[in-house]
Structure formats: structure tokens, C-alpha cells
Structure 1
Amino acid sequence: MDSQPGATPYSAPAGCPMHQEGQTSLYGPEFASDPHRVYDVFRANGPASPIELAPGVEATLVVQHEAALRVLQNPALFPRDSRRWAALREGRVPLDSPVLPMMAYRPNCLFTDGAEHLRLRKAVTESLGRLNSSRLSRDVERIGDYLIDQFIERGSADLLGEYAKLLPLLLFNQLFGCPGDIGDRLTRGMSAIFDGEDVLRANAELTECLMELVALKRRQPGEDITSWLIQHPAGLRDEELKDQLVMLMGAGVEPERNLIANALLLLLAGDASGPGPERRGTGMLVEDAIDDVLWNNPPIANYATHYPIQDIDLDGVTLRAGTPVLISFAAANSDPALTGARQTLSKGAHLAWGAGPHVCPAKSPAQLVALTAIEKILNTVPDLTLAVQASGVEWRPGPFHRALVSLPVRFSPTAARGTAPGARTAAQPAAQPASNPSVPHHHAAESHRKSKGWWSSFLDVFRV
């Protein structure tokens, strides 16, 4: 991958479908409905392709497996520091662009290189290493119980919006040691950023509440990730602490909710044929469904943004200096060059967790969370069925994720279990769905979130 000043930028042939309207954008509904068709077109014309991540935001997407590894494993030529992003420095990227929260520089281990990256990553990995897997599983089960109780009497639910989306958000409040008010604001701000809603305001609120949390934990440390980061010998400054927490939530919430929901979709598809709740319509074990998603529908499909230090020739495609180069984990995993090799590769040989010095440091706890959350809902509600055809589910547009819009299910209504392990015996807070069947359940949930946040309501039930 030596620099080749004479190489010409990649351009698709005039008859190529990539020249059709919208074919190079990764943010429209056409791409969301069938991304692998687009990856196939890109891959047929080279290892990488020019794309548009959002209006006015140009980048290059690496779609071949071998080329992806070459970029991921070569930080000297492909650093992650987005301050190298030429178009952003020159004012050619709108400051309210929905992709900026995922791409703009923060002093965390995702956007740093070299010695600084090693210092920050060591603080993160060693703090994560203090997590107790048994306690983590109990936390997930307790949050799962709480969320299931909000819809179990109804006989229907959106397992994305009412379970898979909320569970990681509440779990991070637990892991960070958030009190009620800070946790409610943290949940609200992170949700808005992931949903692309007023990202400037949401980012400001996120920053404010995390700085409050850091100040609180400096005064009153606890057995939580925030306190462990503060206590780490790396001696992180408040701003660095805040940005490590942002990185952990950003790298954990969106991927986790998509992993849970996408695996549930796979498990619930088709006719029931397994011997119990751990096997569903496809006859898969939960572990196998998670692995299938990581190979074929990775929750974060396109990310790991790099900024070449110079013009670099990648098998005939010029990667311009200072221009974002993203890795398509989804396209790399489905590269036909791996067709034979996949039969002999280990389950974890996919690129869903990345590779190289920035490989995800939390893949083991992330898989444990998904496994526990999925088993919790399947065991608690054993007759779950999809309320729509699996082929008819809608996928949320966006350049980075592979995410469902919703996951509607039906099941036999059951009385809420307010005495689940660890719960108070007092009445549930005002998070119950509306008793009037003419009132949509999501309206009741939204009313609850406005009157009292999810984390505060959870703390009312579970004293943690």
C-alpha cells in the first residue's frame, strides 16, 4: 500500500448501477432495504468505493476482506484521528450533519493513535476488566425483568423500542454508577444522538451530565466504571474521563441493541421447531444466532474511520490523504473471497469487532449481555411470535448501523411480575402501558418518559 502519486481516483464505469440516483449514498431507504446488493456492486469494481455518508459528507468505503485488514492493521498509514479530516477543517462539512457525533474528534481511545491511544486504551480495558461477569448477568436480568413487566400484560410489544433499545441504555447507567437525574439525562441525550434528533443540543446535554457524573464520582467513588477510570494510574483529566464514557456508551449502546434485536429477529423467524425456548423458529441456539448476526448482519456495518496520511494506492483505488476511509464490516464478512475459508474459520473470525490496535475491547461482555438479554425474554415469554412476516420488517436508514425500525411481536398476556428478584413489592411506577386499548402503547411510554425518566423509574423499583 505504498503511496502512488500517479494513481487515478476510482471511478465506476458509466453503465455501472453505482451511477444511478442514490446508489453511492449510504443513508437512504434504498440502501437500508438491501445493503448487500450495494456492497456486491462496489466490490465487483474494486476493493473500495467512493460514497456519501450524509448530504455533503464524502468518504471511501473498503468492501473487500483482505483490503479491510490491511487498513485496520496499519495505523502508521491509516490513523484514526479525525482532526486530519480535510473537508471538516476546511468547512465543507455541515456542523449539524447527523454523522458528526460518530466522526468528530474526541480525546478518547477511538480517535487517538500511538502512545496516547495506548494510555487511554489501557485505562479503558483495565477498568472493563474489573467487571464481574456474574454481576453483569444479574444486572441484565434485573433490567430485563423491569422492561418486560412494562408490556407483558398487553400481549404485544415492540421488542426493539421497548426492550433491545432500552436495556443497554439502562445497563450503562448501572455500570457508570449514575444517580437518577443524571441517568435520565444521559439516556435522553444518547437516544437523541443515535436517532439523529437535534444532535447539537443532545451532545451539549450529554457533555453536561457526564461532567456532573465525573465530579460526583471524584467526591463519592463507588464500584463502577466511572470510579475505576478516575482511579486508574493513567491519571485521566475530567475532559478525558467524559470522552471515554461517551466512547463506551457510543460503542456499546447502538451495537448492543442491534445485536439483540437482529438476533431475536433471526430466532423468531419461521415456524417453531425447536425443543424449548433456547431454540426457536430456525432451530438455532441463541449463541449461534448471535454469531450469525455478527457474520451476516453486523450491528455496526460500516465504521472504523481512518484518515490516510498521504495518497495511498489500494489495489488501483486511490485513498486520498485526509479523506475518511471507512471499513464495511458487513461487506468484508460477505466477501466471496472468504466463501471457502468460512467453512474452516473459527466462529469469531468475522470483522464485526474490528481488528488491529483498535479491536473492540469489550467483545466478551458485549456478547454476554446479548446472550443474557435474549435468553431472558425468550424464557420469560416463551410463546413469542413475530407480528409481521420476517421479510416485511423495516430497516432504519443510516450509514453506520444495521438496525431495525421496530420488532413487533405477539404473545399470551401475563400478569406483571412486580416481585421479580430484587424488586420492591410496592406498586410499579407510572411506566405501565395505558389501560385503554385505544391508546397506543408507545404514547403511554412517551408520556412516562416525559414525566419521569426510565432510569429514575427503574431505581424506584430496584434499589441498586
Structure 2
Amino acid sequence: MTNPSEHARAEALTTPPPGCPAHAGATRLYGPEAESDPYGLYERLRTKHGPVAPVLLSGDIPAWLVLGYRENLDVTRTPSRFSRDSRHWREIREGRVPPDHPLAPVTTWQPICVFADGEQHERWRGAVNDSIARFDKRGIRRHVTQCVNQLVDRFCASGQADLVSQFAEHLPMMAMTQLLGMPEEYSPQLVNAALDMLRGTETAVASNAFLQETLRKLVARKHAQPGADFTTWLLEHPSGLSDDEVQQHLRLVLIAAFESTANVIANTLKMVLTDIRFRASLAGGHMTLPDAVEQVLWDEPPFITILGRWATQDTELGGQQIKSGDALVLGLAAANVDKAVRPDLDAPIHGNRAHLSFSGGAHECPGQDVGRAIAGTGIDALLWRLPDLALACEESELNYRSAMMSRRLTELPVKFTPHEPQLLEPADDESPSAQPVGPEHRATAPVATPGESAPARSSWWRSITKRRWLRRRRS
């Protein structure tokens, strides 16, 4: 039990400082209300305060939640007024965010591009951008399809699965370990460590230490055995990153790619399985799978908020008076449904990438296209392998785990026709249809190539894929 003196000290550290009348009675951005219905909370705040609302972070630390689309763009595009450098944060400077505060892991300044502006940001971000640009997108799609087949082979004989814990949480890490140049067997351990860190459990610090040590060993190995991978390209980049800078950027890319891509996969699969109009648009050719992913990014972004801008001067934003040193939270989910840019939320959005799901400005996510490739290819390959996939519960029974910055589907139970593992790899880049790896791994279930007769478990998705393949072949 916490003794009274410790409780009093914690209250003193987290009580909003005097002279903050705008935050008197402000809404908490944490706790039961925020976690059970974050979207409803955003709309209530928008109605009451407009595009920028006073809120309280964990420990009742005052901040501003940016709800408006245009206001979010203003913040992300003007680093001279709103810096990414957390050392500007008045609450840290004045001791109200101690090192063991829940926000410390995501706000403590580190020598990486997300905490820098100007020339230093350009140096670090330039190395990341140039290295990501060297990825072979066709090779990524091929590898992702192989990963999907490995994952599906683990549960296909049972006729049921949880597509969150058995698919969406594993596929991005399997893909990223290969892109970073890590042995594939590291993937399960890294998934567990990343989930533990993101959930803020009692063992999160130990999980972070495991991840850091794994990446430190990777950097050392790549000095001795360079390869065609992201780690080697960072080490060889002309900007001359130190080993520690390379290690910290590997951690940043790995964790960000894991969390965001896992959420996109889970949310898109949920939409395909539960929304009749959505599925009809796909089946009728009115929407492609990449369109579907973008629609989900508009409606259910992988990160609903991002804490990470601090005012460098007294300024005005959305009718609110922002003081130098104030913290701002980018309301990505709220901005994506701002009626100023989406007057009709029910209208489908085809191929429009103007959403803020990957933030904006100089700090917009550099790996978003890699994430799209992993998610899109992974979903396509999964639906090809399991064409009669169906939700195994009522949609109302699906649950989410919400925190300040993310809202994740806890599970997505599905059922399908059981079949034997196939140990397959893609036949070509046109479709995730597969062929046996070798004579020792012959598929026991029939497998169709687009344009040929479909196997017994044919479905709407294979019909779509077949039509797409035929159109490409004729063009």
C-alpha cells in the first residue's frame, strides 16, 4: 500500500501548476471514459471547445488536444512554433514529469529523428529515408506472402483462429526482422517484447532491455557481416551515424512499424468481415484492396493520438491561447473525421491519402508505404488461402483495448474450412496464389492459379482476384 507521504508527493508532482485557468476542470485523456469511447470523447470536446481542447494527461498533466484537421496540419508544418524536442516541455523542466512517470518512455528526449528539428533532424531522417528507399517492394511482397503461408499453416487444420494474436501481431514483425537483417527465429520473442512495452506492464522495462540488447548485437554483427538490409544501409550511410544512433533508430522503426501495421491489418480484416457495404464495394469492383486500407486509415488510424509537440513561444491555435512550453497532442483520429474535410462520414473514400494517420509535415511517418505493402499483401494472401473466412462471433462481442495513443482490437475470432498445411510460396507478383516449395512439401489441398479453375473452397475473394489477374493479363 502507498504510504500517505508518497501519495502527497505524487499529488504535488502531478497537480496542474497555478496560473492554468484554461485547464481548470479539463477532461482527462486517460481513465475509463477515454478508454471506453475515445471517439465519443473527441466529439464532446470538439462541441465544447472547438478544434483545440484543454485536456489532462496521465497524472493530471495539462496539455492541448488538437482536434481539427487544419489545426493539426498547422502544428505539424510549423516547427518554429511547435517543436518535436521534448526539452521545451515546461512540465519536465519544472519537475512535474518524473523519470518514472507513465509518459516518460515516450517523452524523454533521445538522440533520434522524432525528437529533433532542423539540421539534426535532416541528418537522422535523411539516413532513415534513404535506407527505406532502397527496399525492393516486389521483394517485400514476395516475403510477406511467404510469411502469411507460414502463419496460416500453423492454424489452418483447426478451422478456427484469432486473427489478432495468431496473424496481425506476428506478420509485421516477421516482415520487419527480415528487412532489418535479423534471423527469422527472433520474431516471436520480439513480438512478445514489443507488446509488453506498448502495454506498459511491470516487465516493460525488462522487455525494452531485451529489445535493445538484441539490436545492439545486430549492429555489431552487421559491422562484420554486412548485407542488403536496413541495418547495413544505416551503418553505411554518408551521414555517419554512430552505432548507438543506428541502434535507437532501429528500435524506433521496429516498434512503430509493428504497432501501426498490426493495427491496420486487424482493423481492415474486421471491416472486410463485418461491413456488408464495404465487402460489396470490393466484390463489385468499386473498391480495390489498397482503397480499403486507405478507408480504414481514415476511419480507424493505427495511432489515434500522438503526444509530441511542444510550444516554443506564446501563440494562438484554434481560438486557444497556447503558452510557451505547453504540450500538444495531435488528435489524428479526430482530425480524420473533422467535418471541415469530411462532411459526409458515410461516403466512401477511394484512394485518398490526405488523412493524418501517419501524422504530417517533416515528421510524417517515413515507412508508411512499407507498412501499406505489408498490410495489403498480407490481407490479400490471407483471403486467398482462407477464401471462406467468416467472423466466429457477433460483431458486438468484439472488444478494444484503448490507451491514450492507440486503440487496438483485442481479438478477431474467425472460422473457415479446415485444410492441411501447404508450405507454399507465391507463384508470381500478380496474386498470392501459391505453389509447393519443393517435392518434399507437396500441397495436400487444391491450389488454383488465377485464370484456372478455382478449388473447392472458392469464394468472393478468389473471384475478385481472378478478375483482377485477367484484366492485368489483357492490358
Which structure has the higher relative contact order (CA within 8 Å, separation 6+)?
Answer: 1
Task: Name the residue aligned to 2:296.
Answer: 293
- Measure the CA separation in 2 of the matches of 1:304 and 1:359: 14
Task: Name the residue aligned to 1:109.
Answer: 113
Equivalent residue pairs, number: 410
Pick one of 129, 143, 146 that aligns with 2:147. Answer: 143
Give CA deviations for 1:160-183 in whole Å, capped at 9, x if unaligned: 111001111111111111135755
- Measure the CA separation in 2 of the matches of 1:11 and 1:52: 8
Task: Name the residue aligned to 1:321.
Answer: 324
Does the aligned pair in 1 maintain the 2:54–2:65 contact within 8 Å?
yes
Does the aligned pair in 2 maintain the 1:418–1:424 contact within 8 Å?
no
User: Which stretch shows the higher mean deviation, 362-371 or 376-385?
Assistant: 362-371
User: Which stretch shows the higher mean deviation, 128-137 or 199-208?
Assistant: 199-208
Task: Name the residue aligned to 1:26.
Answer: 29
User: Which stretch shows the higher mean deviation, 82-91 or 362-371?
Assistant: 82-91
- Measure the CA separation in 1 of the matches of 2:158 and 2:366: 39
Distance 1:184 1:269, change over 3 A: closer
> How far off its partner does 1:58 sit?
4.1
Which residue identity does 2:105 align to in structure 1? P
Report the TM-score, using the length of structure 2 for normalisation.
0.79
Distance 1:90 1:215, change over 3 A: farther
Task: Name the residue aligned to 2:255.
Answer: 250
Does the aligned pair in 1 maintain the 2:393–2:413 contact within 8 Å?
yes
1:86 and 2:104 are equivalent in the alignment: no
What are the equivalent positions in structure 2 for 1:260-409 lying under 5 Å apart? 260-270=265-275, 279=283, 285-303=288-306, 305-340=308-343, 347-409=352-414
Does the aligned pair in 1 maintain the 2:23–2:55 contact within 8 Å?
no
What is the SS of the residue equivalent to 1:399? coil
Task: Name the residue aligned to 2:52.
Answer: 48
What is the SS of the residue equivalent to 2:241? coil
Task: Name the residue aligned to 1:454.
Answer: none
What are the equivalent positions in structure 2 for 1:115-130 lying under 5 Å apart? 115-130=119-134
Does the aligned pair in 2 maintain the 1:302–1:328 contact within 8 Å?
yes
User: Which stretch shows the higher mean deviation, 230-239 or 30-39?
Assistant: 30-39
> How far off its partner does 1:199 sit?
2.1
Pick one of 410, 416, 421 that aligns with 1:416. Answer: 421
> How far off its partner does 1:403 sit?
1.3
Deviation beyond 6 Å, 4+ runs, structure 1: 341-346, 424-427
- Measure the CA separation in 2 of the matches of 1:41 and 1:333: 16
Which residue identity does 1:323 align to in structure 2? D
Give CA deviations for 1:61-89 in whole Å, capped at 9, x if unaligned: 10011211111110011110122233234
What is the SS of the residue equivalent to 2:28? coil
Report the TM-score, using the length of structure 1 for normalisation.
0.81
Task: Name the residue aligned to 1:235.
Answer: 240
- Measure the CA separation in 2 of the matches of 1:99 and 1:395: 21
1:37 and 2:40 are equivalent in the alignment: yes
Which residue identity does 1:41 align to in structure 2? R
Distance 1:104 1:223, change over 3 A: same
> How far off its partner does 1:318 sit?
2.8
Give CA deviations for 1:240-272 in whole Å, capped at 9, x if unaligned: 101111111122110100001001101100559
Does the aligned pair in 2 maintain the 1:304–1:354 contact within 8 Å?
no
Does the aligned pair in 1 maintain the 2:132–2:367 contact within 8 Å?
yes
- Measure the CA separation in 2 of the matches of 1:110 and 1:349: 21
> How far off its partner does 1:98 sit?
4.1
Give CA deviations for 1:283-312 in whole Å, capped at 9, x if unaligned: 854223211111111111101510111232
RMSD: 2.9
What is the SS of the residue equivalent to 2:414? strand
Unaligned segments of structure 1, at least 5 residues? 1-6, 428-464
Task: Name the residue aligned to 2:99.
Answer: 95
Does the aligned pair in 1 maintain the 2:33–2:41 contact within 8 Å?
no
Distance 1:33 1:231, change over 3 A: same
1:70 and 2:74 are equivalent in the alignment: yes
Give CA deviations for 1:188-211 in whole Å, capped at 9, x if unaligned: 322321232222222222221111
Does the aligned pair in 2 maintain the 1:9–1:319 contact within 8 Å?
no
- Measure the CA separation in 2 of the matches of 1:296 and 1:64: 15
Distance 1:148 1:227, change over 3 A: same
What are the equivalent positions in structure 2 for 1:446-457 lying under 5 Å apart? none
Pick one of 173, 192, 214 that aligns with 1:209. Answer: 214
- Measure the CA separation in 2 of the matches of 1:82 and 1:273: 41
What is the SS of the residue equivalent to 2:54? strand
1:10 and 2:14 are equivalent in the alignment: no
> How far off its partner does 1:335 sit?
1.0
What is the SS of the residue equivalent to 1:214? helix
> How far off its partner does 1:35 sit?
1.9
- Measure the CA separation in 1 of the matches of 2:70 and 2:82: 15
- Measure the CA separation in 2 of the matches of 1:111 and 1:31: 26
Unaligned segments of structure 2, at least 5 residues? 1-18, 426-434, 442-475
Does the aligned pair in 2 maintain the 1:48–1:64 contact within 8 Å?
yes
Distance 1:40 1:275, change over 3 A: closer
What is the SS of the residue equivalent to 1:230? helix
Task: Name the residue aligned to 2:465.
Answer: none
> How far off its partner does 1:367 sit?
1.2
What is the SS of the residue equivalent to 2:353? helix
What is the SS of the residue equivalent to 2:400? coil
